[in-house]
């Protein structure tokens, strides 16, 4: 069971989250259009602190192809996570990125808002390395970071149809991640809001540790 933790704020936090057992450690990178984005230089410092035992993930909400290519070229993450709205970065855009950076693993966020989400996921399934299923509020200009769950029945259907690993996100924390894994049976789980310290965007390391433990234990039980 892959465990992915967002949004890392500094190098020390990156090391601590890796030590807590996170497999994927993510940093939000951009030009400041969205809150909490790190510029490339600062993101470099955080990514460099992530040990080889964890994968370095860069989350971008950008919709411009040049901006995304610049992030990929300058940071060379293990995984580039595209979290923009679907109309901002199409499956065709992802194909172009894969041709430009053939070594790069790409993850695509899919908003889970109803049965139509299955079709959206299947559009990207042939061209990405991971799908991430997340909650979405209608007027938001990004996918995720809501702190609320969505319809896990839809997510389960996507998992059953997909040919690539599916990571479940959206309102997951130590208290509900085991239930989510049992219901959806994803390849991985993701947490941002519910492993933050209350009222901040800094990680609560005790919550992170419990999230990792609960996720790994639930996966062991499922496979046993």
pLDDT above 70 coverage of the chain, percent: 96
| DSSP 8-state class, residue 197 | P
Among 25-39, 101-115, 155-169, the least confident range: 25-39
Alpha carbons 9 and 64: distance in angstroms, whole number? 24
**Confidence class for position 15, pLDDT limits 50, 70, 90:** very high
CB distance 74 to 82 below 8 Å: no
pLDDT more than 90, % of the chain: 83
What pLDDT is attached to residue 219? 75
For the record, the structure tokens of 62 come out as: 């950008």
How far apart, in whole angstroms, are the C-alpha atoms of residue 12 and residue 50?
9
What is the pLDDT at residue 83? 94
The answer to whether 8 and 190 are in contact (CB under 8 A) is: no
Q: What is the pLDDT of residue 224?
A: 47
Confidence of residue 221 (pLDDT cuts 50, 70, 90): low
pLDDT-based confidence at 223, cuts 50/70/90?
low
Q: What is the pLDDT of residue 50?
A: 97
Average pLDDT, the chain: 93
Question: Rg of the Cα trace of the chain?
Answer: 16
222, pLDDT greater than 60: no
**Structural domains of the chain sorted by starting position, each given as residue range(s) with its CATH number in brackets:** 2-223 (3.20.20.70)
Output helix, strand, coil percentages for the chain, rounded to the nearest 5. 40, 20, 40
| CB contact set of 14 (below 8 Å; sequence gap of 6+) | 8, 25, 27, 46, 47, 49, 50
Render pLDDT for 144-159 as a digit per residue (tens, 0 to 9).
777 789 999 999 999 9
Those residues with Cβ within 8 angstroms of residue 35's Cβ, 6 or more apart along the chain or in another chain: none
pTM of the predicted model, to two decimals?
0.94
pLDDT value, residue 175: 97
Residue 144 to residue 150: CA distance in whole angstroms: 11
Report the C-alpha gap between 204 and 124 in whole angstroms. Answer: 33
Degrees to nearest 5, angle at CA 81 with 125 and 211? 100
Q: What is the pLDDT of residues 59-117, one digit of tens each?
A: 999 988 899 999 999 999 999 999 998 989 999 999 999 999 999 999 999 999 999 99
CA distance 8 to 205: 11
31 contacts 222 by C-beta, under 8 angstroms:
no
């Amino acid at each position: 069971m892959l465990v992915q933790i967002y949004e890392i704020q500094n190098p020390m936090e990156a090391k601590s989250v890796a030590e807590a057992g996170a497999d994927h450690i993510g940093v939000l990178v951009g030009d400041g259009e969205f809150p909490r984005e790190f510029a490339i230089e600062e993101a470099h410092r955080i990514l460099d602190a992530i040990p080889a035992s964890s994968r370095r993930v860069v989350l971008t909400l950008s919709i411009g192809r040049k901006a995304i290519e610049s992030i990929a070229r300058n940071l060379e993450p293990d995984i580039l996570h595209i979290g923009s709205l679907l109309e901002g970065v199409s499956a065709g855009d992802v194909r172009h990125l894969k041709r430009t950076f053939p070594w790069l693993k790409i993850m695509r966020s899919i908003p889970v808002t109803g049965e139509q989400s299955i079709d959206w996921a299947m559009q990207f399934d042939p061209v990405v390395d991971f799908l991430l299923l997340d909650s979405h509020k209608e007027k938001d200009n990004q996918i995720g970071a809501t702190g609320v769950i969505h319809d896990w029945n839809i997510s389960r259907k996507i998992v059953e149809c997909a040919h690539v690993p599916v990571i479940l996100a959206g309102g997951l924390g130590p208290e509900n991640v085991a239930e989510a894994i049992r219901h959806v049976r994803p390849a991985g789980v993701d947490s941002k809001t519910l492993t933050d310290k209350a009222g901040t965007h800094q990680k609560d390391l005790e919550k992170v540790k419990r999230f990792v433990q609960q996720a790994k234990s639930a996966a062991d039980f499922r496979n046993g």
